[in-house]
Amino acid sequence: MIPTVAKGTLRLCAACLVSGCATAGTSVVGAPVQVSPDAALGSVVSVQATPGNLQRAVARSTGPTRFVLAAGHYYLAPTTFTDSTCGNCESADTPVPANYGLLLRGRHIELVGSSADSVIIYTNAGYGILFDGCDSCSLRGVTITGGTRDTDGRATSGAVVVRRGHVALDSCSIRDNIGDSATVAKVIVGIAGVVGRERSDIHISNCSIRRNSWDGIALYRGARAEIRDNVIDGVDKAAGGRVGGGRGVGIGLTWDADAIVERNLVTRYWKGIGVFGDARAVIRHNVVEDILTWGIAYWGAETGGPVATIEQNIVYLSGACGAMIERNAPDTGVEPGRFSRNVLVRTTQAQRYDSGEPYCPQRPIARIKVPARFAVSGNLVYDVRQPGDWVQEPTSSVDELKASASPLVARLRRSPALRSARFFSEYWNSL
């Protein structure tokens, strides 16, 4: 069990920019807090309040330890290292040069701030906060910002990166991790909000993940996650060669990642929620809106066999198809999932995608290759474009939409993460 603040907690006062600072970003706010030894922790040392000491203290700790961060701005110095594996390469056994801001290893290590508004960590690194082999660890009540894109395009740069271990992220703000524009333009891949790597188990809840230059949440080989009650907002909706927030996928699962995705708002991204390759997912009660291309994708590429239950989601205002379903892999006997009881409104809005390339046919549900036993049923479609020669999706009248979708709308509106969705304030209220 992790000790309480009174028993063995290390309290770190942050550096902040205030009058009287000897050096910007390194002044002490308050006196160092003395902490008492605890049998579970062993010898505990008081920690002087500087950003450099935060890094050194964490580096020395293998837990159980709770680091309580006082209000202020923490500026991390990046450390160069070699990532021993590659999260998104054809061969996982590919070493990749990268940088991290803070490295956490061990058991029962917590970084806790009083609130994300008052504790702000500038990582200045590609792998901002790296949990590597951290069991029952957590990050709560802080802002993670100021990431720097690694120059090697194979690096899975992210504000928070988790590999091997169990980590909980709660009530955090992960924002404005854009990186150097020239570097991002060169390597294409930007900085993700949260990256799940091999043998990671992540719980992400009540977080605000905004204006990062790659996927909001990206899960790769062997990653598992429960993703609930988050706002994932690209803000800039950057497209083409632009460098800004909202590039990539709001939530992306690839290789053999596995996730439960519930009650999240995904908005102003290039793409919405994607289940790729051999990934598995339950995607339920999310709102995906104001997306440049597709809203939800179930896509096995050439050989993958994804498995996904996608039900009772709202997809509103997408440039290309509302959802796409394509799996080419042969039936293995495993139930492939279903796409049911979703609401798709004002999809297929961008005429530049009317050819169907490079994303999907302009249909609210693009049924490119639906696997056997994958049910597509009970969905509500309204106010959509359906150009071209593909078979058209049946649509509902406004009365049918209101009658059938009202229970789902009422339920989702009660979720704090979904309350700000434009679908409710701008569209549903006007029907």
pLDDT digits (tens, 9 = 90+) for 269-298: 999 999 999 999 999 999 999 999 999 999
Same domain, 300 and 381: yes
Same domain, 207 and 109: yes
Q: What is the pLDDT of residue 34?
A: 33
Euclidean distance between CA atoms 213 and 197, whole angstroms: 19
Number of domains in the chain: 2
Same domain, 220 and 109: yes
Q: What are phi and psi of 352, to 5 degrees?
A: -65, -15
Question: Collapsing DSSP states into helix, strand and coil, what is residue 183?
Answer: helix
Same domain, 323 and 428: yes
Residue 302 has pLDDT above 50, yes or no: yes
Q: What are phi and psi of 233, to 5 degrees?
A: -130, 115
Same domain, 130 and 235: yes
Q: How many beta carbons lie within 10 A of that of residue 151, not counting itself? A: 16
Tokens for 220?
């790769």
Euclidean distance between CA atoms 216 and 194, whole angstroms: 6
- pTM beyond 0.85: the answer is yes
Domain span at residue 97 reads 76-265
Q: What are phi and psi of 222, to 5 degrees?
A: 65, 10
pLDDT digits (tens, 9 = 90+) for 152-210: 999 999 999 999 999 999 999 999 999 999 999 999 999 999 999 999 999 999 999 99
Same domain, 399 and 421: yes
DSSP-assigned letter for residue 273 = E
Q: Is 150 left (phi over 0), alpha (psi -120 to 50) or beta?
A: beta
Same domain, 232 and 86: yes
Same domain, 332 and 389: yes
Same domain, 155 and 99: yes
| Integer Rg of the chain from CA | 22
Same domain, 389 and 366: yes
Same domain, 226 and 284: no
